[in-house]
Chain A
Amino acid sequence: MKKLLTVALVVMLVTTGLFAQGGQEKDQGSAKKLEIHYANFSTEGESHFKMVDQSIKNFNAANPNIKIMNDLLPSAAYTTNIQAVAASNDLPQISMLRASQAQAYGLNGVILPLNDLLVESGLDARMRPGVYKESSVDGVIYGIPWAIGYYGFILYNSEIFDEVGIKEFPKNLDEFKVACDTLNAAGYIPMALGDKPLWPADSLTFSAFVNKFVGPDWTDSIVAKDGTASFLDADFIAALTAFQKLAKDGTFNVNLASLDHDERRILYSSKKAAMISAGDWECVQITREAPDVAAMTKVAAWPGPKNGAKAGDSFENSSAWTIALSANNSEAETQAAMDYLANYHMTPEWGKQHIEVGGSIASWEHEIDKTKINPIMADVYAYDSEPCLNWDGVMDIDVREVFQRGLQSLLTMGVTPQQLASKMQAEYVRALKK
C-alpha cells in the first residue's frame, strides 16, 4: 500500500511538473503580447455591446503584439465589483467609472490624471466643450466622458392622454395634479417610478424637477461648495415638499421602492403607466420593446410651480460615465490604452454609430444623421430645453448617498422635507470641511 501511494505521489509530481513546464513555455511564448483589460458594462444585449466589441477586435487585428480583453459585467454587478477593485488599488488598465467615482479615485491616486495624455493623443481637440465638468477636480481630468446623456425628460403616451381627455401636457404642477387624478380615475398609473437602485428618483426625476424651484445658480453654488447656497434654503425645501406631494397624490406607483428602473419602463411599454421620467437610452429600449407605444410617445419637460419658476423647461445634460486609466499602468500599457481610445473607440465614426444605435450623443464631435436617430430622441433633441445638472454625477459622494436614500424615504413618507434637508445639509457641511 505504502509503495502504491509513493508511486502515485511520484507520478503526480512528475505530471504536475511537466504541465507546469508546458504552461511556462506557453507563457514565455505569449509574454511578448501586452494584455490590456477594459472593464465595462456594455454586455451582450446592451446597445453598445457590438460597437465596443468591434472596436476592440479592430484594435487587436491592427496590433498583433497587444491584446485588449473586453471584461464585461452587467451594470449593477459592475458598479459593486469596480468599487471593490478600486478600493484594493487593483483597477484594470482601462475601466468605465462614474464621473464622481473618477473624481474620488483620482484624488486617492488610484487612476491617472489625463490632461497631458488627452492632448498628446489628439483626443482633447475632438472633445465637446465643457464635457469634463463632472470628471475633473480643479482642472485635473480623471475620466474621459463617454456620452452627453439627456435625462429627466417626461415621456408620455399621447393615446392614453387622448383617451382620458387630457388635451395638452400640463404647464405647471397644479395642472399636473389634475391630469394625474384623471389618469388615476381611469385606472392608469400616472407616472411609473422604479427606485430600488436609489439613483432613478434622483437622476431620472428630481434633478430636473428641482431646477424650476431653485434655478441653475443655486445648483452651481452647491456643486462648487462655495458656501452660498444651502439645502435648508426655502426654495429647496419647497421642491422637496412638492416632490413628496406628488407621491402623496398618487402620481407614482405605490411599489416604487421595490421596483427596478427597468421594470418601471415595462409598466410604460405595456400601457399600464401613462408617463415615465426617462433617460436617453430608454428611448431606444421603448422603441425596441413596444413600437406601438413608441409611436404614441411624446416628450415634455417637468412642470414647475405655477408662479415664480426659477428656470425654464429643463433636461439634465450629463456625462455621468467616463473612461479612466489605472495609476498602476506601465508606460506601454498607458500608450496602448490611449491609442485604442483615440483611434478605435472615441472616433467620429464610432460617435455617429453611438447616437444611431444607442441613442446618446458622444462626448466628442461627430456627424449626426437626423434621419437615422431614434424618433423619440429626435424629439428630445428638438425640444427647447435648458440644460441642468444631473445631481447623481456632480454631487459629493457622501451627500449623494444621504440624498438618494432620503429621497426614497421622502416618497414613502418615511421622512419630512425638513428632516431630509437637514440631513443633507449636515453631510454637506461635513463635505465642505474635507
Chain B
Amino acid sequence: MFEYFGGWMIPTPKIIKEPTMRSFESKEVKTIYKFILPWFILFCFALVIPIFTCLGISFTSWRGGPKINFNGIDNYVRLVQDAEFWNAFGNNLELMAYLIVGQIGFAFVFALMYNSKLVRFKELHRRLIFLPCLLAPAVVGMVWQLVYRIDIGIFAILFRSLNLENWIIPWLDSPKLVMPAISIVLIWQYVGQYCLIIMAGMQNINKSVLEAAEIDGTTAIQRAFYIVFPLLKSTIFVLLMLVISGCMKLFDIFFIMTNGGPGNSSMVAVLYSYNLAFHSNKLGYGSTSAIGVVLLSFLLIIIMKQFTKRIADEN
C-alpha cells in the first residue's frame, strides 16, 4: 500500500502496535496458570474429588464391596442423634480449649522471653523449642506413651525416686485425665511453631512504643499485656484459626496413644469416623460422619471469623 506524503508517493508505514497492559497481563496470567495447573490437578485428585466422593457415599449404607444401597438422608438423621459422634466432637472442643490456652499462651510467654534481654543462648532455645514440630506425630505418640507409663515412664521413675508413689497416675487410663494428658503432648509438640509466628509478629511492633512505655515506668509484664498483646491481635487471630483447624483434623496421635480409649473418653471426631468406616465396616455412615466433621469445622471457623471481626470493628 502507498500513500502521498509531501507530494511523494511512499509506502504506507507498518503500524507497530505497542504492547498494551491488557496483552501483557494475559500473557502473565497464562504463565501463572501454567505453573498452578499441576498443583491444581493434584489438589483436585487429593482433596476435591475425594470430598465429593465421600459426600456421595455418605448417602448410602455401603459396607464395602460391589453392593451399594442409596438410603437418602437416613445417615444424616442418625448422625444428628448419635451421642457417640457428639461426644467425640465434645472432646475436640475440650481439646481446643486446652490448646488455645496452652499452645498460644505458652507460645506468647516464650516469645516474650526470647525477646527479653534476660534470656541467654536465645538461638539455642529457639531451635530446641521448634525441634518437636519436626517429629512425626506417630513418633511423638509412641514416645509419650512411654513417658506416661506407670512402670517405666519418666514421671513414674521420678516420683518413685522422690518417694511420691501416690503421685504416679495412669494418665492414659483415666477417663477424666486422658484429654489433658494428650493436650500436654500437643502443646509440647507445636508450641515452637506458634512461638515463631508470634515472634515474627513482634518484629512489626515499633520499638519506640515499647521504649516510651519503659521510660514511663511500666513493668515488663504491663508492657506485655497492655502493649504487645493488643498489637499482636491480628497474629493471635491467625493462630486461633490454626488451632481450630488443627484440632478438628487430629487423628494420628490419638490413634497411637489411646485408640480413643479408655472407652470413648479420648475419641475425637476424625478417629470416630475412621472407626466407623474401617472397624465397623460402615463406610457409608463413616463418610457421613466425616462430612459432619467438615461441616462443623466450617461452622467453627465462621463463628471464629465473626468473633474476630467484631473485636476488630470494636477497636
Taking the complex as formed, is B292 at the interface, i.e. its CB lies under 8 A from any CB of chain A? no
Interface string of B2-17 (1 = CB under 8 A from A): 0000000000000000
Assess the A412–B173 pair: CB atoms within 8 A. yes
Q: Is the CB of B172 within 8 A of A414?
A: no
Contact status of A412 and B263, CB under 8 A, knowing A254-B173, A257-B173: yes
| Cβ-based interface call for A196 (8 A) | yes
Closest residue of chain B to A407 (Cβ to Cβ) is: B263
Stretch at the interface among B28-36, B246-254, B272-280: B272-280
Known: A258-B145, A408-B263, A414-B175. A109 touches B281 (CB 8 A): no
The answer, among B67, B263, B281, for a CB contact under 8 Å with A405, is: B263
Chain B contacts of A256 at CB under 8 A? 173
User: For residues 396 through 426 of chain A, which have their beta carbon under 8 Å from a beta carbon of chain B?
Assistant: 397-398, 401, 405-406, 408-415
Q: Mark B100-132, 1 if CB is under 8 A from A, else 0.
A: 000000000000000000000000000000000
Q: Judge whether A397 and B280 touch: CB under 8 Å.
A: yes
Q: Decide yes or no: A401 and B262 within 8 Å by CB, A87-B281, A254-B170 being known contacts.
A: no
Minimum CB distance partner of B145 in chain A? A258
| B64 interfacial by beta-carbon distance below 8 Å | yes
**With A and B bound together, what is the CA distance between A413 and B64 in angstroms?**
35
Q: Are B280 and A398 in contact (CB under 8 A)?
A: yes
Most chain A CB within a 10 A radius of its CB, from B63, B260, B262: B262
Given contacts A87-B281, A198-B259, A397-B281, contact A258 B63 (CB under 8 A): no
Known: A87-B64, A255-B172, A257-B172. A409 touches B265 (CB 8 A): yes
User: Contact between A196 and B261 (Cβ–Cβ < 8 Å)?
Assistant: yes
Residues of B within 8 A of A109 (CB): 65-67
- Give the distance in Å from the alpha carbon of A110 to the alpha carbon of B63 in the complex: 10
**Pair A409/B262 contact, Cβ less than 8 Å:** yes
In the complex, how many angstroms separate the beta carbon of B196 from the nearest chain A beta carbon?
33
Contact of A401 among B172, B279, B283 (CB under 8 A): B279
- Once the chains are docked, how many angstroms separate the CA of A83 from the CA of B63? 10
Q: Is A408 a contact partner of B262 (Cβ separation < 8 A)?
A: yes
Of residues 59 to 107 in B, which have CB atoms within 8 Å of A's CB atoms? 63-67
Known: A89-B65, A257-B172. A401 touches B278 (CB 8 A): no
Please indicate the chain A residues that have their CB under 8 angstroms from the CB of B280 in the complex: 397-398, 401
Interface residues of A in 288-306 (CB under 8 A from B): none
Q: Are B173 and A415 in contact (CB under 8 A)?
A: no
Q: How far, in Å, is B229 (CB) from chain A's closest CB?
A: 38
| Contact partners of A410 in chain B: CB under 8 A | 263
| Interface positions of B from 239 to 269, Cβ below 8 Å from A | 257-265
Which residues of chain B are near A412, meaning CB under 8 Å?
173-175, 261-263, 265
List B134-161 residues whose CB lies under 8 Å from chain A: 145, 148-151
Judge whether B262 and A104 touch: CB under 8 Å. Answer: no
A327 to B174: give the CA distance in the assembly, Å.
45
Q: How many A-B residue contacts, CB cutoff 8 Å?
A: 107
Chain B residues with a Cβ closer than 8 Å to the other chain, count = 32
Q: Contact: B149 with A108, CB < 8 Å?
A: no
User: What's the minimum C-beta distance from A213 to chain B, rounded to whole angstroms?
Assistant: 22
Chain B hits for A398, CB < 8 A: 280, 282
Would A84 and B175 count as touching, CB distance under 8 A? no
- Chain B residue numbers with a CB within 8 Å of A397 are 280-281
User: Chain B residues near A89 (CB, 8 Å)?
Assistant: 64-66
With a cutoff of 8 Å between Cβ atoms, the chain B residues found around residue A255 in the complex are 149-151, 170, 172-173
Would you give the shortest CB distance from A221 to chain B, in whole angstroms? 23
Name the residue on B nearest A85 (C-beta). Answer: B64
Q: How many angstroms between the C-alpha atoms of A415 and B66 in the bound complex?
A: 38
Name the interface residues of A176-219: CB closer than 8 Å to any CB of B: 195-198
Is A108's CB under 8 angstroms from B173's CB? no
When A84-B278, A256-B173 are in contact, do A408 and B65 touch as well, CB less than 8 Å? no
Decide yes or no whether A28 CB sits under 8 A from chain B: no
| A6 interface hit (Cβ, 8 Å) | no
Q: Quick check: is A228 within 8 A (CB to CB) of the other chain?
A: no
Chain A residues with Cβ under 8 A from B149's Cβ? Answer: 255, 258
**Contact in complex: B261, A108 (CB < 8 Å):** no
CA distance A256 to B151 in the complex (A): 13
Contact between chains at B259 and A105 (CB < 8 Å): no
Contact A110 B65 (CB under 8 A): yes
Contacts of B175 in A (CB 8 A): 409, 412-414
B positions within 8 Å CB-CB of A: 63-67, 145, 148-151, 170, 172-175, 257-265, 275, 277-283
* A and B contact pairs by CB, cutoff 8 A, 12 listed: A87-B65, A87-B278, A87-B281, A196-B261, A255-B170, A255-B172, A257-B172, A257-B261, A401-B279, A408-B263, A412-B175, A414-B175
Besides the known contacts A196-B259, A405-B261, A414-B265, 19 further A-B residue pairs in the complex with CB atoms under 8 A apart? A87-B64, A88-B64, A104-B63, A109-B67, A110-B66, A195-B261, A198-B259, A254-B150, A255-B172, A255-B173, A256-B173, A257-B173, A257-B262, A258-B149, A258-B173, A258-B257, A409-B261, A412-B261, A414-B175
